[in-house]
Each structure stands twice: as C-alpha cells, then as structure tokens.
Amino acid sequence: MDIADVKKELSSDEKILESAFKLETLYKKYKFFIWGIAIALLLFFAGTTAMDAIKQAKLEEANSAFLTLQNKADDAAALATLKEKNPALYELFIYAQAAKNKDAKTLSGLANSSNEVIADASKYTAAVIEKKPVDSKLYKEMALLEEAYLAIKAGDAKKAKAKLELIDERSPFSMVAQLLKHSVLKAK
C-alpha cells in the first residue's frame, strides 16, 4: 500500500466522521422537533387503530342486533342497540316494518328523516296507504300513476290524462300509462 492510498482512505474516513458530526449537531439542534414528530405519528397511528376497532365493534353489535330483529321483530333490547349503534340501519328496519304493517303514522314520522332515501320512500308509502297523491323523487312515475288512478276513480279524466302525459315514453311505466290513457278515453 502506498501513501496515496492511505491518504485517500483517511480522507474518506474523515468525511464519514465529518458527516456523523454534522448529523449529531443537527440532531442536537432539532431533537425536540424530531421526537415530537415521532410521538405525533405514533399517537396518530395508535388513535386511528383504536377508532377503527371501536367502529368495527359497533358495526358487529349493530349487525348482531339486526339479525336478532330479523328473527324476532319485537325485541326491544336489539332495537335499542340498533338505534344506538347504527341509526341508518335502524331507520331502514323501522321503515320496512311500518311498510309491512301498513303503519301510516310511523311512515309519516320517518318522512322527516335526515336520510333522503328513507324520507322519500316513507312519504310515498304513507301516501299510497292513505290513498293520497304525493310528490316523490324516487317513485316519481309510480306517484304519477297513483295520482292518475285516483283521478280516474274520482271521475276526473282530464286530470288523469294530464298526469299520465308526464310519464316519459322510455320509462318502464309507459306501457301502463298508455293502457290507463286508453281506458280513460274509452270511459268518456
């Protein structure tokens, strides 16, 4: 080994030591910041994991309560658990039970739900049970057919025809609308 190689090796060792000293200086200067970020990241991931576990436990309890209600609809404890753990599923269950039992009062109460689908479906179903016209986003064409039918029953052919004209020709209900229009014309 000659002197040039030794100098080169010492020079690279010096550079490594110099980098280590710079790193140590940087660490001493920013150690609270570095540890703060490390602790914040640790707390964030621990918190996220805990929240996910809590959410999963709530869903499992709600699912268990829902399955219990499927077999025994009058189980008050399961109903309370479902209401607390999953309010959206609770409203859906109440809607299904009210529609099945033709409970217009409960359906009218659900018409004020924050869930737009439940609110609209409840409003429509309550109106059908009470044989009243209703404006529905989800059941727009069904509501028009219902209103036309009620108008035909009341003897108002002009109103019935006007409601049936609002149903699009591409709609699955257009054939029924055409049949009702035809029956209105024949009834005159």
CA–CA gap between residue 57 and residue 69 (Å, rounded): 18
CA–CA gap between residue 81 and residue 84 (Å, rounded): 5
pLDDT number for residue 183: 75
pLDDT number for residue 139: 82
Half-sphere exposure of 85 (CA within 13 A, CB side): 19
Three-state SS annotation for the chain: CCHHHHHHHHHHHHHHHHHHHHHHHHHHHHHHHHHHHHHHHHHHHHHHHHHHHHHHHHHHHHHHHHHHHHHCCCCHHHHHHHHHHCHHHHHHHHHHHHHHHCCHHHHHHHCCCCCHHHHHHHHHHHHHHHCCCCCCCCCHHHHHHHHHHHHHHHCCHHHHHHHHHCCCCCCCCHHHHHHHHHHHHHHC
Minimal CA–CA distance to 90: which of 120, 123, 57, 68? 68
Residue range 64-102, pLDDT digits in tens: 999 999 888 888 999 999 899 999 899 999 999 999 999
pLDDT number for residue 185: 63
CA–CA gap between residue 102 and residue 95 (Å, rounded): 10
pLDDT band, residue 186 (cuts 50/70/90): low
Is the pLDDT at 187 greater than 60, yes or no?
no
CA–CA gap between residue 154 and residue 136 (Å, rounded): 21
pLDDT number for residue 33: 92
pTM: 0.64
Mean pLDDT, the chain, whole residue set: 86
pLDDT band, residue 167 (cuts 50/70/90): confident
- Residue ranges of the domains in the chain? 3-133, 139-188
